[in-house]
């Protein structure tokens, strides 16, 4: 997926993926990560998600990565916060109390720049990327977060009926990306109300990914 595609989506306000309230799956399942207030949650390809408002309200420190400057500006406007902004290499770093957003290509974001991450919330990143990019993304995410646990939301549907994004990422593919490094637990597998974009039936799945070394220690 080329950068121009996502820039055009934001410029034309084609952001049907954006919800006006916190994702119910986040609210229902986030406790499975067993975090405490103050810990740092990474939200890749975060857009201007209302989920960030919810995470901040729970007392977490949110770290996001987002390609679109329009989305980042809209996020801080919705938070009624004026961030400090500075250029860091190929990225622009927006910082305010309890929140850091890196604007630019997520593949330009390194572990040292990102800092320690306690958990990842991936609702719209893996499913936003075409198949040829998803393997690269999953490896990069694991590397820059030191294999932090994840709450992952994915969709499964007949890709021939509806082009992505969001793309169909079934259980077998989730396993192919993550099972070598994480213990995978399926928390939910529910029909998507109204289908995908109202056009085809789809299942919405929620996964808890725990680093294998951590899982074995429990």
Q: Please list the pLDDT of the chain residue by residue as tens digits (218 residues).
A: 456 654 454 444 544 444 678 999 999 999 999 999 999 999 999 999 999 999 999 999 999 999 999 999 999 999 999 999 999 999 999 999 999 999 999 999 999 999 999 999 999 999 999 999 999 999 999 999 999 999 999 999 999 898 888 999 999 999 999 999 999 999 999 999 888 888 899 999 999 999 987 544 44
In a domain? residue 181: yes
In the chain, what's the furthest Cα-to-Cα distance? 48
Q: Which two tokens stand for residue 43?
A: 């939200």
Q: Which of 80, 14, 22, 24 is nearest to 49 (CA)?
A: 22
In a domain? residue 99: yes
In a domain? residue 54: yes
In a domain? residue 18: no
Structure confidence at residue 19 (pLDDT): 61
Residue numbering of the annotated binding site for S-adenosyl-L-methionine: 10, 45, 66, 123
Q: What is the pTM for the complete model shown?
A: 0.90
By three-state DSSP, how is residue 142 classified?
A: helix
C-alpha to C-alpha distance for 41 and 180, rounded to whole angstroms: 23
In a domain? residue 38: yes
C-alpha to C-alpha distance for 214 and 218, rounded to whole angstroms: 7
Task: Assign residue 184 the CATH number of its domain.
Answer: 3.40.50.150
Structure confidence at residue 5 (pLDDT): 53
By residue range, what is the domain housing residue 95?
3-12+24-217
Per DSSP, helices labelled H in 92-145 are 111-114, 131-144
Residue numbering of the annotated binding site: 10, 45, 66, 123
Q: Cβ atoms within 10 A of the Cβ of 150, count?
A: 25
C-alpha to C-alpha distance for 83 and 60, rounded to whole angstroms: 17
In a domain? residue 125: yes
In a domain? residue 19: no
C-alpha to C-alpha distance for 130 and 48, rounded to whole angstroms: 21
Q: Domain total for the chain?
A: 1
CA 129 to chain centre: 11
């Amino acid at each position: 997926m080329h950068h121009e595609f996502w820039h055009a989506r934001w410029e034309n306000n084609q952001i049907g993926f954006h919800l006006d309230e916190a994702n119910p799956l986040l609210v229902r399942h986030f406790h499975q990560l067993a975090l405490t207030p103050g810990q740092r949650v990474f939200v890749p390809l975060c857009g201007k998600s209302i989920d960030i408002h919810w995470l901040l309200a729970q007392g977490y420190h949110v770290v996001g990565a987002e390609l679109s400057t329009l989305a980042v500006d809209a996020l801080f406007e919705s938070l009624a916060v004026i961030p400090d902004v500075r250029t860091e290499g190929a990225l622009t770093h927006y910082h305010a109390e309890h929140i850091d957003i890196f604007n630019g290509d997520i593949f330009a974001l390194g572990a040292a720049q990102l800092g320690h991450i306690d958990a990842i919330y991936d609702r719209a990143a893996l499913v936003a990327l075409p198949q040829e990019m998803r393997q690269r993304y999953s490896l990069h995410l694991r590397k820059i977060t030191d294999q932090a646990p994840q709450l992952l939301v994915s969709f499964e549907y007949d890709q021939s009926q509806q082009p992505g994004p969001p793309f169909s990422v079934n259980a077998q593919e989730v396993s192919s990306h993550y099972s070598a490094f994480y213990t995978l637990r399926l928390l939910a597998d529910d029909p998507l109300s109204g289908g995908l974009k109202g056009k085809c039936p789809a299942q919405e799945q929620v996964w808890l990914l725990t680093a294998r070394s951590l899982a074995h220690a429990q």
